[in-house]
Amino acid sequence: MRFSFLIQGFGNYLENLEKISNKKYNIGTDDTSIFMYSQEFQNYLKDELGANNDISSMNITDLLNMDIVNGQIVNADSTNNASINDILNDLFNDKSVIETLDKTNDGKLDENEINEFLNNIKGLDENNANISLNDIFAATQAIQDGTYGNIEQTPSAAPEIPEAPAATDESSSAGSTDSTDSTGSTGSTKSGGSKSPSGSTDSTNTSGTDTLNSSNTNIDNLSLEELEAKKTEKEGELKTVQNAVDEVYSGENANVKAAQEDADKAKETYDKALEEDEQVSQELKDKKAENDTKIAASETKINSLESDINSKENEITAQNSVIASDNSNIAALESALSSLNSQSSDDEKTKSEIATKKASVQSQLETARTKLREDEQKLTDLKNEKSDLETDLANEKEILSGLETEKAAIEEEILKTCKPETKEAMEKYNTAKANIETVKTEELSKAKEAVTAKQAELDEINNQINVKRAEKTKSENSVNSLDNPEQLYNNLGLKEQGLNYDVFKFALEGYKNLEDKGNGRLAIFDPSGNQQCYIIDMKNQKFLYSTKVLLGKNGMGSSIEAANRNGSGATLSGYVKVGDAYKSSKHWNTGLNLYGLEKGINDNIYSKRCVIHYVKNGQGTTLGCLGIPPVLNSNGTINQKASIERNMEYFPKDTIIFTYPGKNREEAYRKLSKYC
């Protein structure tokens, strides 16, 4: 099989295509994918062959009949035309596609399997007759992301990330960056306005694209201040829907009001017909009027009581939230006290600080427990008040029931003597009156459902606020354990996680001297051990995650200073800060910028384009980047979206990362570092 637009400098690819077309490729025995990524194939056509047309949206059948001449796509001799099935064979992006589509598990694709894929791709295109490279890219990416089963929907995409700027220094002249891994993925990055080591804002942004705006609205990612603002907003929304319930009881609800107006008109017609009906005695008319007045008064009272009970229920719900907050605060204080009780130190200053904190926490606990008792009493009072209202409501409903029985008896007497038109008016009124209750029930159901939904949203926010407040309480009532690394090491359980104590102690020594500790998260990378990076929440003194990190191809370099030079291909030592996310427009790879905090040690890390990114096969080395293994789907293929999101979850902006220089370089590092 031969395509005219692939000939120039692409012989190896054609050879591989021949293997596919002849069904000789066995995916079960070949460990190395022979397929180019579809996106790289497109880039090849655009960048290497100079194709300046938007070939990604071109119909495949048209593309087969095109050629590239002097950078222009032109019509070619149609004698080399090939079928759509053939071109699909050529453009699958990797082994995972074959494995997914190979229903017979024979390591090959037959015509039925290809046609099934073809039919699914048609679901991505408004015009089923046209299939473009974009359609194939979307379908094959869906396989990578594990969403191929829902191909008719837009396949899962990675978070929106800014494009990367051009590489600089040696990276630019060499035509590559310091972050290419062993599989060929790149790590070109861009500053998105994160702070440089000096504290100034690095505004480098050659593409003019805004910095990363995460679409994830999960409240777990909000700060306490943001949660408090969100709570205020949600309380306003809850009040609005609660008012809607009150409007139903008061009759201000539009539908209830309309039903009431219909009933009032019907009553007016009925009263007039009855008044003009000389066949009904005046005594019966007077009884009916008196009964109407009593029923109206009773119904008004019942509506008022139901509204009061609803308000009381809202107060009880709010008070339960207050009590939940009280209990959360008490639990946090008890945890802080327990932690303080377990702490010991030979240092007199630290011992005194522990004693002072313990006394403070005990005092706070006493206050918190007193508040809890008061709030529980308030809840009891609210429940009693609600119970009294419910008793009054039951009594009033009993009164109304008696009045309704009396009304029925009066109407029975009226019907014995009244004119037909009076009877008709009575029936219309009673129907309209019953409709009020029907509409009211429906509107109450909708309004209360809205209240329940908003209350659930508010409860979720309150729960997260309690968690954040508890963390803050424990943090504020703890003794700074940075001066007691052994105790912190034990409390965090880092020995069980595999982090060497000496490495932890060394990292902590410099960390406590950092002027800016970022977001309070410290990641410690030990290249000398098992190449694991250990991520710790220093604010709340909690171990979070660990992950393997790949070293540079030249290890830690010939020296600490040498690793910091452009083109070193080595992993840099010391403290760096995580910046904004970036994406490479050329190689389907996304990661995070890094900024060095130590002059002569790693201050060149940004200009070298050494970043955090996932590595396609999770093995090998990088050219200096911190390469993280990818997240895999159940079928063993890479889940690009999850890999990117995992990296951003592990290393959020302003995380401090410390890379241990190694035992034999500790002294050399101390001479260069101002922190250790």
Alpha helices in 485-581 (DSSP H): 485-491, 494-497, 501-511, 560-563
Q: Give the pair of three-digit tokens for residue 575.
A: 């403290």
Residue 131, Cβ density class (10 Å: 0-12 exposed, 13-18 middle, ≥19 buried): buried
Q: Which residues of 368-402 are buried (b: 16+ CB within 10 A; e: fewer)?
A: beebbeebeeebeebeeebeebeebbeebeeebee
Once rounded to an integer, what is the mean pLDDT over residues 511-517?
90
pLDDT at 410: 96
Q: 220-254, pLDDT tens digit by residue? A: 778 888 899 999 999 999 999 999 999 999 999 99
Bin 458: left if φ > 0, else alpha if -120 < ψ < 50, else beta. Answer: alpha
Q: Mean of the per-residue pLDDT values for the chain? A: 75
Decide if pLDDT at 95 tops 70. no
Q: Give the pair of three-digit tokens for residue 656.
A: 């401090």
Which band of pLDDT confidence, cut at 50, 70 and 90, is reported for residue 107?
low
Decide if pLDDT at 41 tops 90. no
pLDDT at 23: 35
Q: Which of 569, 574, 485, 486 is nearest to 525 (CA)?
A: 574
On the CB side of 187, CA atoms within 13 Å amount to: 31
Q: Which of 659, 586, 658, 589 is nearest to 630 (CA)?
A: 589
Which band of pLDDT confidence, cut at 50, 70 and 90, is reported for residue 49?
very low
pLDDT at 15: 40
Of 467 and 342, the structure prediction assigns the larger pLDDT to 467
| Range of lowest pLDDT (73-77, 569-573, 624-628) | 73-77
Bin 574: left if φ > 0, else alpha if -120 < ψ < 50, else beta. Answer: left
Bin 654: left if φ > 0, else alpha if -120 < ψ < 50, else beta. Answer: left
Q: Is the dihedral of CA 501, 503, 507, 509 positive or negative?
A: positive
Q: Which of 5, 93, 2, 4 is nearest to 49 (CA)?
A: 5
Residues 164, 169, 174, 179: what is their CA dihedral angle, to the nearest 10 degrees?
Answer: -50
Once rounded to an integer, what is the mean pLDDT over residues 181-194?
34
Percent of the chain with pLDDT over 70: 66
| Range of lowest pLDDT (122-126, 314-318, 571-575) | 122-126
3-state secondary structure 178-202: CCCCCCCCCCCCCCCCCECCCCCEC
Of 113 and 222, the structure prediction assigns the larger pLDDT to 222
Q: Give the pair of three-digit tokens for residue 67.
A: 């050629």
pLDDT at 627: 87
Once rounded to an integer, what is the mean pLDDT over residues 189-204?
33
β-pair partners for 596:
576
Q: Which of 94, 85, 2 is nearest to 40 (CA)?
A: 94
pLDDT at 165: 45
Decide if pLDDT at 199 tops 60. no
Which residues touch 566 (CB under 8 Å, ≥6 apart)?
Answer: 169, 170, 171, 178, 604, 607, 608
Q: 395-444, pLDDT tens digit by residue? A: 999 999 999 999 999 999 999 999 999 999 999 999 999 999 999 999 99
Query: Which residue shows structure tokens 């046609």?
Result: 115
pLDDT at 622: 83
| Range of lowest pLDDT (27-31, 164-168, 263-267, 272-276) | 27-31
Of 309 and 528, the structure prediction assigns the larger pLDDT to 309
Of 673 and 181, the structure prediction assigns the larger pLDDT to 673
Decide if pLDDT at 445 tops 90. yes
Q: CA–CA separation, 546 vs 279, rounded Å? A: 93
Once rounded to an integer, what is the mean pLDDT over residues 256-280?
95
At residue 601, what is the residue type? Answer: I
Residues 565, 567, 569, 570: what is their CA dihedral angle, to the nearest 10 degrees?
Answer: 0
Which band of pLDDT confidence, cut at 50, 70 and 90, is reported for residue 74?
very low
**DSSP codes joined into one string, 113-136:** HHHHHHHHHHTT-SSTT--BHHHH
* Number of other residues whose CB lies within 10 A of the CB of residue 120: 18
Decide if pLDDT at 94 tops 80. no
pLDDT at 155: 31
Q: Are 563 and 570 in contact (CB under 8 A)?
A: yes
pLDDT at 182: 36
pLDDT at 178: 40
Q: Is 290 helix (H, G, I), strand (E, B) or coil?
A: helix
Which band of pLDDT confidence, cut at 50, 70 and 90, is reported for residue 18?
very low
pLDDT at 113: 64
Decide if pLDDT at 88 tops 50. no
Q: CA–CA separation, 62 vs 5, rounded Å? A: 12
Which band of pLDDT confidence, cut at 50, 70 and 90, is reported for residue 108?
low
Which band of pLDDT confidence, cut at 50, 70 and 90, is reported for residue 80?
very low
Own/partner pairs, 377-381, CB within 8 angstroms, 24+ separation: 378/319, 379/316, 379/319, 379/320, 379/323
Which band of pLDDT confidence, cut at 50, 70 and 90, is reported for residue 136?
low
Q: 270-321, pLDDT tens digit by residue? A: 999 999 999 999 999 999 999 999 999 999 999 999 999 999 999 999 999 9
pLDDT at 90: 44
**DSSP codes joined into one string, 233-269:** HHHHHHHHHHHHHHHHHHT-SHHHHHHHHHHHHHHHH
Displacement of CA 425 from its chain's centroid (Å): 61
* Number of other residues whose CB lies within 10 A of the CB of residue 172: 13
Decide if pLDDT at 332 tops 70. yes
Q: Give the pair of three-digit tokens for residue 669.
A: 């590092």
Q: CA–CA separation, 434 vs 446, rounded Å? A: 19
Q: Give the sheet arrangement for strand 521-526, strand by strand.
A: 542-548, 532-537, 521-526, 656-659, 574-584, 589-596, 612-614, 626-628
Once rounded to an integer, what is the mean pLDDT over residues 318-339?
91
Which band of pLDDT confidence, cut at 50, 70 and 90, is reported for residue 6?
very low
pLDDT at 134: 54
Once rounded to an integer, what is the mean pLDDT over residues 454-471?
90
Q: 588-598, pLDDT tens digit by residue? A: 457 789 999 99
